Structure 1
C-alpha cells in the first residue's frame, strides 16, 4: 500500500508541477510520476533539515517543500529529456 500511495502522491505532485511551469513540458507521464515522487522525497529531506517534518495537524510547510522539489525536478527533467531526445518535438 505504501508504494501505491507514493505513486499517487508522485502523480499529483508531478502534474501540479507541470501546471505551474510555463510552457509545455515534453517529459512523459511515467517520468513525471517518478520526478514527483523524488520531489516529495526532496521536500521531506529539506523539511527534516528545517525541523518541520512532524507537526500537529496538516504539514503545510512540508507539502509546499514537496511541491517545490517536484517543480524543480520536473523542470530539470524536462530539459534533460528534451536534450536527450533532441529538439524534434519542440516548436521553434
Structure 2
C-alpha cells in the first residue's frame, strides 16, 4: 500500500468512525479520538474483508465495502464503550 493509500484510508476511517457512531442510537460515552481510532481500524479491516469477498474494487462507489466498514465501526464503538464501562 502506498503512502497516498494510507492517508486516504485514515481520512476515510475518520468518516467511517463518525458514521458508525451516528448509526447507533443513544448517547455514546467514549471520546471523539477513540471513535476516530475505531473508524480507522474498521476502514483497514473492512477493506481487507471486502477484498477477501471480491467486492473491494468495483466500478464507481464501493457501497458494499462502505457498509462493511460502517458496520465494523458500529460494532467497535459499542465494544469499546462496554469495555470502558466495566473499568
Could you say which residue in structure 2 is the equivalent of 1:63? 66
Give the structure-1-normalised TM-score: 0.78
Aligned-residue offset at 1:11:
2.1
2:35 aligned to which of 32, 50, 61: 32
* Match of residue 19 from structure 2: 16
Unaligned 5+ segments in structure 1 are 85-92
CA contact 2:9–2:44 (8 Å) conserved in 1: no
Q: Report how many residues are paired.
A: 84
The answer for the alignment partner of 1:76 in structure 2 is 79
Match of 1:52 in 2: 55
Deviations 1:37-84 (CA, angstroms, capped at 9, x unpaired): 111112112111211111111111111111111111111111112222
Aligned-pair CA distance for 1:31: 0.7
Q: CA RMSD in A?
A: 1.7
Q: How many angstroms does 1:23 deviate by?
A: 1.5
Map of 1:87 onto structure 2: none
Q: Identify the range of structure 1 (7-16 vs 48-57) with the bigger mean alpha-carbon deviation.
A: 7-16
- Report the 3-state secondary structure (helix = DSSP H, G, I; strand = E; otherwise coil) of the residue aligned with 1:76: helix
